[in-house]
Amino acid sequence: MSRKLLIDIHTHLYLPRYAQLLRARSQIPRITTLNGEERLVILAGEAATGRPVGPSYWDRDAKLRFMDTHGIAISIVSPANPWLDFLPPAPALQTCEALNSDLEEYCATSPEVELGGRRRKRLYGMGYLPVVPGQEVGGVCAAVEALGKLPHIKGVILGTQGLGKGLDDPALLPMWESIAKAGLVVFLHPHYGMPPEVWGAQENGHVLPLALGFPFETTTAVARLILTGILDKLPALKLLLAHSGGALPVLSSRLASCIAHDPVAASRLAHDARYYLGRMWYDAVAYGPEELAFVVPTRGTDRLLCGTDHPFFPPLKGEEMWMSVTENLDAVENAPGWSEGEKEGVRGGNAVELFGL
């Protein structure tokens, strides 16, 4: 393990109970078997073959080995998409409770590491919320309260569908209030991308939905959320954006200008749109030093936190070090103009601060 503290705040898992749930399904999302090997199918376009899935998704020892290989001291693990999005309201509540309890145990029984003179676990978690179409928001709030009482759960992971109308649905206000009150971090993460017709008819594999669709989805969800004024209403709400906020940072001044040219939208916000970007946190999963440095041009580096996106993007040739990890760590190392102290903050100090480790 590297001598310098490295904390991974963007690292996923399917708990064994969740993998079982997917194996029992006949529709997407599901785990199926092809030529004797398990395959994961979570996107409509991959129905024919799916993608390899295995212990790296659910085995805790595999996660710890990956951490050791890459010098990661602590991981804040979060369930991988599509979470509970496909369940009806009542099963979503029950499954949510069981999975969050599994996640607490996964973390609570993990090995320890020394951090600032104290013993800490190597694994902490961000839990599920039962946000599915048709769910009563009261059920979601109860799940938030329950999560807040689990000692190794530090946040929630949230997709963009909400109760079926997205995250800017006014019906979600009590959820945001209860999350802010519980002091949980919201890790906002994409799954749906953009409607598939925008990628056209040429065969480009998953390149466009992953490279563009994911960041577009996050960007859209956050912009819609900003436009509700929720960040004025709830100053304590902590939003952590996947993939460095997608395209939001580079479009923030265009967004601000479009709002300024629209009297109705402008009247709902207490600040220029760019102010709210400074109120959020971002993972350092931007794949290049210039892109990474751009996420924080005027906002400082203290809201940027390292992530690996494990177990996605495994190496094609079975190398021990994952390129998807090293290129993001290299980006931190080579970000133009950052001091050593700033780099150490991004690698670990900022995560200690945000998650109160």
Size, binding site for a second copy by CB under 8 A? 66
- Window of 39-47, 79-87, 139-147, 162-170 that interacts with a second copy by CB under 8 A: 162-170
Instruction: Give the E-state strand segments of 116-271 in sequence order.
Output: 118-121, 123-127, 153-158, 185-188, 238-241
Judged by CB under 8 A, which stretch of 69-77, 146-154, 324-332, 340-348 contacts a second copy? 324-332
Q: Which of 206, 232, 279, 353 binds a second copy (CB under 8 A)?
A: 206
Q: Angle at which helices 137-148 and 173-182 pack, to 10 degrees?
A: 10
Q: How far apart are alpha carbons 268 and 108 in whole angstroms?
A: 43
| 115: number of Cβ within 10 Å | 17
Judged by CB under 8 A, does residue 257 bind a second copy?
yes
Which of 234, 247, 302, 352: binder of a second copy (CB under 8 A)? Answer: 247
Min dist. Cβ of residue 348 to a second copy (A): 23
Stretch that binds a second copy, among 2-10, 174-182, 218-226, 338-346 (CB under 8 A): 218-226
Does 173 sit near a second copy (CB under 8 A)?
Answer: no
Interface residue with a second copy among 264, 318, 320, 339 (CB under 8 A) is 264
| 92 vs 109: CA distance, rounded Å | 26
Interaction between residue 49 and a second copy (CB under 8 A): no
Does residue 208 bind a second copy (CB under 8 A)? yes
Distance (Å, whole) CA 227 – CA 148: 27
Give burial (CB, 10 Å; 0-12/13-18/19+) of 352.
Answer: middle
Which CB, 102 or 342, lies closer to a second copy?
Answer: 342
Question: Segment near a second copy (CB under 8 A), from 134-142, 171-179, 280-288, 348-356?
Answer: 280-288
Residue 51 sits in the site that holds a second copy (CB under 8 A): no
DSSP secondary structure letter of residue 120: E
By the 8 A CB rule, do 122 and 77 touch?
Answer: no
Residues 21, 239, 164, 135: is their CA dihedral positive or negative?
Answer: positive
User: What distance in Å separates the CA atoms of residue 13 and residue 103, rounded to the nearest whole number?
Assistant: 10
Cα dist from 127 to 11, 13, 177, 338, whole Å: 13, 11, 17, 33
Task: Please tell me whether residue 241 adopts helix, strand or coil conformation.
Answer: strand
22 near 90, Cβ under 8 Å? no
Which range touches a second copy (CB under 8 A), out of 13-21, 41-49, 174-182, 283-291? 283-291
Q: Are 212 and 182 in contact (CB under 8 A)?
A: no
**Binder of a second copy out of 290, 321, 333, 356 (CB under 8 A):** 290
Residue 244 has what DSSP assignment?
A: G
Is 150 an interacting residue with respect to a second copy (CB under 8 A)? no
Q: Is 218 in the site for a second copy (CB under 8 A)?
A: no
Between 103 and 188, whose beta carbon lies closer to a second copy? 188
Stretch of residues binding a second copy (CB under 8 A), selected from 117-125, 126-134, 182-190, 261-269:
261-269
- Residue 56 within binding range of a second copy, rule CB under 8 A: no
State yes or no: residue 201 binds a second copy (CB under 8 A). yes
198 binds a second copy (CB under 8 A): yes
| Binding test (CB under 8 A) with a second copy, winner from 33, 145, 254, 321 | 254
Q: Evaluate whether 69 touches 321 at the Cβ level (below 8 Å).
A: yes
Which residues of the shown chain bind a second copy in the complex (CB under 8 A)? Answer: 165-166, 168-169, 194-195, 197-208, 210-212, 215-217, 219-220, 223-224, 227-228, 243, 246-247, 249-265, 274, 286-288, 290-291, 294, 297-298, 313, 316, 323-324, 327, 331, 336
